Chain A
Amino acid sequence: MGLKRAFLKLAAIGLGIGLMTSAALAANLRVLAWDGYADPDWVKDFTAATGIGVDVVFIGSDDEIWAKIKGSEGQDFDVFAVNTAQLQRYIKADLVAPIDITKLPNQKEVLPRFRDLSQVSGDTKDGKVYGIPFCFDSIGLIYDTDKVKPAPTSMSVLWDPAYKGKILAYDNGEHNFSFTALTLGYKDPFNLSAEQMAAVKAKLVELKRNVLSFYTTADEAQQIYQNNDVALIWANYGQQQVKALQKIGAHVAYINPSEGALAWLDNWVISKGVRDNAAAEKWIDFMLTKKVSGELSERTGFGNTVVESSSAGSNDKLVWLNNVEDPLKRSDMWNEIKATP
């Protein structure tokens, strides 16, 4: 997830430092967020509307958020952004406070899939809400509209011999096990039994024989696409990847597979060390306005929780990424798959 935004991030670090020093007032709301989640004009509007000053610090990786929050036991920030897979770790370490959603009127207006937070895996614990969904993107399938007809509906097209040697897959065991488990119809792709793992592994060996190569960065996939005959790309970088390809004139489209697309979801959470809970709630509610959320999608290309965006149609099934049963095991098996002749 860090990679995805890394290029934006570099530009933002300078800005972040500038904001930190210029607005270092004692009573300001302290926000820790990814670049693109707290743009200066939103911060200005928020301060104008509520009279609350804001200090934003931008982060570049999941590990950095953990280090900053854990390092100060939550005392250094009031509100921060974290994805659903990571959130449970913060709840367990008692670093985040439960959120009273009655204080967030805009949360009632969000898209249906985000309305009942108990249905958003990872956002609640013991009936209490800890995370308010804000930004997401799916990991769908990019297909070349000239080469793939009819339009695919499922990831199973990646195993279609008609596209042998024309498929770009992603070089990551964890995700590949998860999406293949979904393709095989398994309920929980993040907790696979030993038999399921073996079945997924066999399926991935077949996939390997059908693909052209495994890529790691969006740039790389794009370059391979340009120099080779590629029909299908497993789109780890979602919308950003589609838009970059369309920009260079590629005839590509994007689908979320019917069996469910893996998707990451970032949430606003309130730190245990929050100084002014009401101010933090106001910030989150402000982020859920149609204006801010709409602009978020326009500017970043990611999906938001308030207005429809191209990341996912209202009927698309999204499966929020979660921690997997044994990352080491998946990584080892992925090596075995790659070493299989």
Chain B
Amino acid sequence: MRSAASMQAGERRLSLLVTVLAYAMPVIFVLVPLAIFLVYSFFSVDQGTIVYAPTLGNYIRFFTDPIFLPVFWNTIILCLSVAVICILLAYPTAYFLTTLKGRWRYALLMLLLVPLLMSYVIKIYAIRSILGLNGFLNKALVALGILDQPSTLFVFNMNAILLTLTLLLIPFAILPIFLSLERIPQTLLRASDDLGASGLQTFLRITLPLSLPGVASAASFVFVLAIGDFLTPQMVGGISGFTFGRILYSQFGTAYNWPFGAALSVALAIVVILAILIGERFGRNRGSSV
């Protein structure tokens, strides 16, 4: 029979094990790979083999070579636009959802999230067919008389990337906004009504400010997912839609220049971390503490 002391010791060992595991997972699968990336970004490549001598060359090249910075800024602007469009579309949708009663609300929400269950590549393929010259969008616009003839405006350019990313990422915007809207206590809205505020005033002074944390989270989600995507630009971007993700990807595939790819990744990671921090800063608390 075991004594209480040894049982306690056993429990302590178990809780220690759980703690170690809890820390080990993020360390091994997140921090260590990131650290390896960071270290690699200071190496260089010669004749297809990596030279393990520290150098700042990759970073100097990133800042001085005329091709990287313009593509970098353009990509950031593109992804910010995607985030803004997603918010503008997602906000009314989420607001509409919160006005629904009971089961309908969640059924419809689920329906909006269903696309997330589908393969991402298949979605891009499908969207590309829709946007093509003989695609559904053009056929519909011509049939409705909006266009005289099919247009190449929608595919193989920056517009196509913008449209496709927006379509792909909009569920990620709807969800946080919906959650923050749902968390607003009905009593506040009723109080506002009792005090004589109009519907618009209530929305602008109560609902909107209280839902901003959700908007901030949504924007940072969408931005981060968009900027890390290289496949969408590759598949629908054509010749003018050249993004930072595509350059980065090419360093690992065809170029076999891992150190430079790592340096570009670090640049991207800094932007991503900033976006997450900003999202976090504005996304925290204000809603839930009420």
Contacts and interface: CB of A to CB of B under 8 A. Distances in A.
B67 A165 contact: no
Contacts, number: 72
Interface in A123-181: 165, 171-174
Interface stretch (B28-36, B171-179, B239-247): B239-247
B73 interface: no
Contacts of B250: 331, 334-335
Given A223-B125, A227-B128, A339 B48 contact: no
B254 A339 contact: no
Contacts of B256: 327-328, 331
A315 interface: no
A335 B257 CA distance: 13
A46 B6 CA distance: 72
B244 to A, nearest CB: 10
A24 B7 CA distance: 56
A228 B155 contact: yes
Given A216-B234, A220-B235, A226-B134, A339 B71 contact: yes
Interface residues of A, number: 29
Interface string A198-233: 000000000011011110100010011011110000
B152 interface: yes
Contacts of A227: 128-129, 132-135, 155
A52 B71 CA distance: 60
B70 interface: yes
B156 interface: yes
Interface of A: 165, 171-174, 208-209, 211-214, 216, 220, 223-224, 226-229, 327-328, 331-332, 334-336, 338-339, 341
Given A227-B134, A328-B45, A332-B257, 15 more contacts: A174-B254, A208-B239, A209-B239, A213-B237, A214-B238, A223-B128, A226-B134, A229-B134, A327-B48, A328-B48, A331-B250, A331-B255, A335-B67, A336-B67, A338-B239
7 contacts: A209-B239, A212-B156, A213-B237, A220-B235, A228-B155, A331-B255, A336-B67
